[in-house]
Structure 1
């Protein structure tokens, strides 16, 4: 019996050792690691659970967390100001300042509260205002205060001022806060509050107007007053001729010196008054409520991302929803490692961080990647994948790859994705990044390492939010225009005087109507019809002049325009023809002439097709929401507007009149004739032919 027990113990001992080892390994792997990175989500995990956990950790350290992704609008150095205001609420207050939310703000605050496990007032602020607020376990009219602050202030008041107004309202009782929110909402329906700041274009207009007034008004006084005096004192023409023929007429007495100096003195006094009064009238100095960020504010995110890339070649922004789960991350790591070990390959660094005009690089992915490369000091392929827009940009730094091929010729299925990717919550980033790695594996190698070059530097934030001096920019052209306007006004007055005199003698003379502008934002149906007919006639003449062998591109565009115009342009005269067809005829006719003249530009301005050919393509705002951006072709004018005043661009999109009298943007609905115009003239030609074949 003891021998049997001994044999049994001998057999069980190895099994017991294995079990004990498994228990120890399990305990070590499940114990929380100090300063561990957020775990990637699984397929069953909410896409912002990791985001909520990260934000809860930040609030656990300090009740106010200001992101490092908005240094141009809300720099991190404003955190003490937010904390000072939060203390006035009278309840524990937790503030998150983040880019425009990628999920429902109330849902995100609820998830953060659940992770943090502390009752209090939770507030979510974006780059411009308080967008969500919830109270957990405390008495505070959070929702009413957020609504009132949103409607009482203009959109450019700034995040800090909006939070200050929110604190003022939330500190009041619930009844007063609700009444204030209702009143502000009703007033907002009648019209949004007036803007607090002006933009650079407004300042240029002020400078131009000041220059015109400074020379135009005094010169008009010097020119018009003597002219009017002579005309009023000349008397009837016959009497004037008799006076000239009279030899006995005495010369007119000379006026006193004081009278002769009165007019120049009045003109000089007017000029001095305008020069001194203009700075008092146009006293704005800034175009935004955003303070100037410090160098530390501008470099914080680059340092954070670079530090993350030293540990892992794939960096997912913990403040944003996680787009790659654990399995997708493992797949991407395996592809990156395979490319690094391949011939002519090298390191690949993937950053899944959002980009906006308020970040350190002003939304320029190339500039951001170059800054990360400089900070990391490692050559490789840098991939900027935006988890919000879904856009993917690739930049080569020091590998044997064609940098310009990666920068300009990357397939659109990778860069922008399909319509399914656009509609999907995670933009199918995992599949598109996998396709990118396949593209890199198959890309031809160059003989020598190369880079995509140095990107243009972003605008200095100190200058970005400061208006230029009033007596600068367009002030000097305004001086010249003011002098010219004074002479023109004199000619107009003289001509009008003669016309009025002639009308008294001969009736029936009328003035010609003034022609409308060449590129209006809200053209009338009559303007669109007239312009379409004129442009089609011009295109017809150009095609006939190029006969018998015009370029195929021009011929395709011209034939598409004829399909819309109908036989003998009958549809252009028919009042039932949609205004979208009139605009399409105009665009195709102009594109025809451009192709005949050797202009191979394939796209027109997507903001206003009447502006003509596109000069470049870039991400622009297409709605008042700053996060709503698209990569569209734009003309030089719209490109400058997108740089200087991006918030003005959504209101400059061309609108078309409806039969009901309302107006609609030309690219709506999404399946309309002009919905493909931003993709180029070829896409519009195809759309026209499809419409003609189905109609």
Structure 2
């Protein structure tokens, strides 16, 4: 058989041409295979690597929860999402990821194409259901997502949002459509918002302050105002009672403390039941494994390759840029004073284990990896770059990236990849130019971040601003008491001007204190003298006994009650009691009562009705088992040592003659004034 010729020339093919043809055929075959197996990138820029990674995760488990949001959605909540997904009645694939800057629907579409399974695909971000679509099954995904968006407040949390979503899916198409329309009508068109489910630390401080404020202002007002108003009413014109009311007054003096104690207990219990929130977020506390999962993943990746690109995020380094970055890292590591460089292209969010703190993230990765070097943290979502030195001989203070490299410029903001490839190349240039030092340097310690386990716990109600609330409540109670006192004082003065006689002629005050203060005695003496003067001015015939008693009372105050009964007046407590007794005895005589004896236990009680045994006593003291406890005491005069009060008979005054009757008191007053 003849030799096969090439291209019909009759000559054997040249070996070089044969190898070239075979290479071209192989390239064409690879191109065709890539075109058949790797779908073209979507118009939105979703890279095949991200969708392929997520599809592989769903192939292993239809619910995938990211490890990048442990503060909001711990990975340990995956069984809860799986349990809720079973309610839909159709195959359901759930992706729980950080907020996507690209189109969420396109991401679900590319994941579905990679996975090749029909069903309901749901994307949940760190706050709610972000997108949902169906492939080959029937489910009201759009309406369910609408209901979950409108019916729940922003702080409901992603798990509760997905629960509401599956609830609507299970209701069927007709009910879901009606519910979605009602939600749009109520919350979408009107602008009404559902009430928040949780409160923040500021709200808790306000609750604590209000609780402390009420816990002091209400009981103090009860303790202060009830006795004050009671005394104020007794001092009003025509507000007198009889001595029989004294036991009732003593029995009711515990009402104010009891009411105050009851009010305090009611406020404390009501506040504890009303302000019963314990957490400021719907996020469940993460487990230890939730908080270390991402750090372990990144550290494991950096142990294999100094450049780690987050597979859950869009790839921002093309092969050319990636190869150049690897080359520059090797060059820097081999340079004098250089060392390893570890680049982490991982999103940094407030919900991650580091609370969005790049320094804390770099420190955790360094501790886990256990290798010194320069750690570069680049965020593929927002494009920020940070550099941290651990143990290399570099001047960390001069290792300062220009803003155009660290944060990007206008062109970087407009680019989908934030030009991270070129900017990371600029980072390596900065490292090459960084001054070397004599000693290895280390970046400063990371700032403390909020504890992810207890970070959402609210402080106890009876803490923080509860104590300032107690103080301000006491201040407010004092101010309110002052305002009420001023108002009631004005009312009383107006009533006194209209009716200058505060006590009816046929009765005596209902309650007289056993230990009256000097101010009380001065005020009572002034009121009694004014009332007596008004009765004398209104009467036509005057009883001689009443006139004698009135004259004796005036002798004790030098015929000028207003001047003598002021605080600066010369009248001592015993003299003031004598004035009160004489004025009341005069009014008694004007009323036609010829009783000449007043209570010897407490002359302020009024007329005596019996003797016990030889001591004239009033009705109160007569019925009291131990009348001695009712004995009138007065502020001690000077020279009494530590004694602050003394029995009234220890004063050298006409009041000592009271046991002999009011007539004896009048005589003693005249003798002391040298009047016959």
Question: TM bucket by the smaller chain?
Answer: 0.5 to 0.7
* CA displacement at 1:172 relative to structure 2: 2.4
- The answer to whether the aligner puts 1:257 opposite 2:250 as a matched pair is yes
Alignment partner, residue 49 of structure 1:
48
* CA displacement at 1:106 relative to structure 2: 1.1
Q: 470, 481, 484: which one pairs with 1:490?
A: 481
Distance in 1 between residues matched to 2:227 and 2:486, nearest whole Å? 16
SS at match of 1:413: helix
* CA displacement at 1:220 relative to structure 2: 1.6
Q: Normalising to structure 2: TM-score of the pair?
A: 0.65
Distance in 2 between residues matched to 1:150 and 1:111, nearest whole Å? 24
Alignment partner, residue 144 of structure 1:
143
CA contact (8 A) 1:102 1:321 kept: no
CA contact (8 A) 2:42 2:106 kept: no
Q: Summarize the Cα distance change of 1:369–1:42 in structure 2 as closer, same or farther, 3 Å threshold.
A: farther
Q: Summarize the Cα distance change of 1:381–1:498 in structure 2 as closer, same or farther, 3 Å threshold.
A: farther
SS at match of 2:156: coil
Alignment partner, residue 290 of structure 2:
297
Alignment partner, residue 308 of structure 1:
301
- The answer to whether the aligner puts 1:376 opposite 2:369 as a matched pair is yes
Distance in 2 between residues matched to 1:4 and 1:219, nearest whole Å? 117
* CA displacement at 1:281 relative to structure 2: 1.2
Distance in 2 between residues matched to 1:492 and 1:427, nearest whole Å? 66
Q: Summarize the Cα distance change of 1:192–1:2 in structure 2 as closer, same or farther, 3 Å threshold.
A: closer
Alignment partner, residue 643 of structure 2:
none
* CA displacement at 1:458 relative to structure 2: 2.4
- The answer to whether the aligner puts 1:217 opposite 2:218 as a matched pair is yes
Q: Summarize the Cα distance change of 1:232–1:120 in structure 2 as closer, same or farther, 3 Å threshold.
A: same
Distance in 1 between residues matched to 2:395 and 2:484, nearest whole Å? 66
Q: Summarize the Cα distance change of 1:13–1:426 in structure 2 as closer, same or farther, 3 Å threshold.
A: closer
Distance in 2 between residues matched to 1:342 and 1:120, nearest whole Å? 55
- The answer to whether the aligner puts 1:357 opposite 2:358 as a matched pair is no
Alignment partner, residue 688 of structure 1:
none
Q: Summarize the Cα distance change of 1:502–1:73 in structure 2 as closer, same or farther, 3 Å threshold.
A: farther
Q: Summarize the Cα distance change of 1:256–1:4 in structure 2 as closer, same or farther, 3 Å threshold.
A: closer
Alignment partner, residue 200 of structure 1:
201
Q: Which has the larger radius of gyration?
A: 2
- The answer to whether the aligner puts 1:430 opposite 2:408 as a matched pair is no
Gaps of at least 5 residues in structure 1 are 33-38, 244-248, 505-695
Alignment partner, residue 114 of structure 1:
113
Distance in 1 between residues matched to 2:480 and 2:350, nearest whole Å? 44
Distance in 2 between residues matched to 1:43 and 1:382, nearest whole Å? 33
Distance in 2 between residues matched to 1:474 and 1:113, nearest whole Å? 53
Alignment partner, residue 77 of structure 2:
78
Distance in 2 between residues matched to 1:371 and 1:29, nearest whole Å? 43
Cα deviations by residue, 1:507-557 (Å, 9 ceiling, x for unpaired): xxxxxxxxxxxxxxxxxxxxxxxxxxxxxxxxxxxxxxxxxxxxxxxxxxx
Distance in 2 between residues matched to 1:371 and 1:25, nearest whole Å? 45
Q: Summarize the Cα distance change of 1:502–1:415 in structure 2 as closer, same or farther, 3 Å threshold.
A: farther
CA contact (8 A) 2:307 2:342 kept: yes
SS at match of 1:123: strand
CA contact (8 A) 1:42 1:326 kept: no
SS at match of 1:52: helix
CA contact (8 A) 1:102 1:320 kept: no
CA RMSD for the aligned pairs? 3.6
* CA displacement at 1:484 relative to structure 2: 2.2
- Pairing 1:491-570 to 2, within 5 Å after superposition: 491-494=482-485
- Pairing 1:85-104 to 2, within 5 Å after superposition: 85-104=84-103
Distance in 2 between residues matched to 1:111 and 1:2, nearest whole Å? 55
* CA displacement at 1:373 relative to structure 2: 0.5
Cα deviations by residue, 1:608-636 (Å, 9 ceiling, x for unpaired): xxxxxxxxxxxxxxxxxxxxxxxxxxxxx
Distance in 2 between residues matched to 1:501 and 1:115, nearest whole Å? 90
Q: Once structures 1 and 2 are overlaid, which stretch shifts more, 98-107 or 490-499?
A: 490-499
Distance in 2 between residues matched to 1:365 and 1:113, nearest whole Å? 33
- Pairing 1:310-325 to 2, within 5 Å after superposition: 310-325=303-318
Alignment partner, residue 412 of structure 2:
421
CA contact (8 A) 2:41 2:48 kept: no
Alignment partner, residue 615 of structure 2:
none
Cα deviations by residue, 1:238-265 (Å, 9 ceiling, x for unpaired): x99xx9xxxxx99995763221111111
* CA displacement at 1:25 relative to structure 2: 11
Q: Summarize the Cα distance change of 1:482–1:22 in structure 2 as closer, same or farther, 3 Å threshold.
A: same
Q: Normalising to structure 1: TM-score of the pair?
A: 0.64
Q: Summarize the Cα distance change of 1:193–1:297 in structure 2 as closer, same or farther, 3 Å threshold.
A: same
CA contact (8 A) 2:97 2:124 kept: yes
Cα deviations by residue, 1:7-30 (Å, 9 ceiling, x for unpaired): x99996788789889999999999
Q: Summarize the Cα distance change of 1:259–1:472 in structure 2 as closer, same or farther, 3 Å threshold.
A: same
Q: Summarize the Cα distance change of 1:497–1:30 in structure 2 as closer, same or farther, 3 Å threshold.
A: farther
SS at match of 2:171: coil
CA contact (8 A) 1:42 1:325 kept: no
Distance in 2 between residues matched to 1:499 and 1:133, nearest whole Å? 72
Alignment partner, residue 63 of structure 1:
62
* CA displacement at 1:231 relative to structure 2: 4.2
Cα deviations by residue, 1:418-466 (Å, 9 ceiling, x for unpaired): 2332233222222222222111111111211111122133222221122
Q: 278, 291, 301: which one pairs with 1:285?
A: 278
Aligned length: 485
CA contact (8 A) 2:398 2:434 kept: no
Distance in 1 between residues matched to 2:218 and 2:133, nearest whole Å? 58
Alignment partner, residue 664 of structure 2:
none
CA contact (8 A) 1:317 1:352 kept: yes
Alignment partner, residue 649 of structure 1:
none
SS at match of 1:463: coil
Q: Summarize the Cα distance change of 1:445–1:251 in structure 2 as closer, same or farther, 3 Å threshold.
A: farther
SS at match of 2:437: strand
Distance in 1 between residues matched to 2:372 and 2:88, nearest whole Å? 50
* CA displacement at 1:500 relative to structure 2: 8.7
- Pairing 1:15-34 to 2, within 5 Å after superposition: none
Q: Summarize the Cα distance change of 1:498–1:428 in structure 2 as closer, same or farther, 3 Å threshold.
A: farther
SS at match of 1:156: helix
* CA displacement at 1:384 relative to structure 2: 1.1
Cα deviations by residue, 1:582-604 (Å, 9 ceiling, x for unpaired): xxxxxxxxxxxxxxxxxxxxxxx
* CA displacement at 1:86 relative to structure 2: 1.1
Alignment partner, residue 401 of structure 2:
410
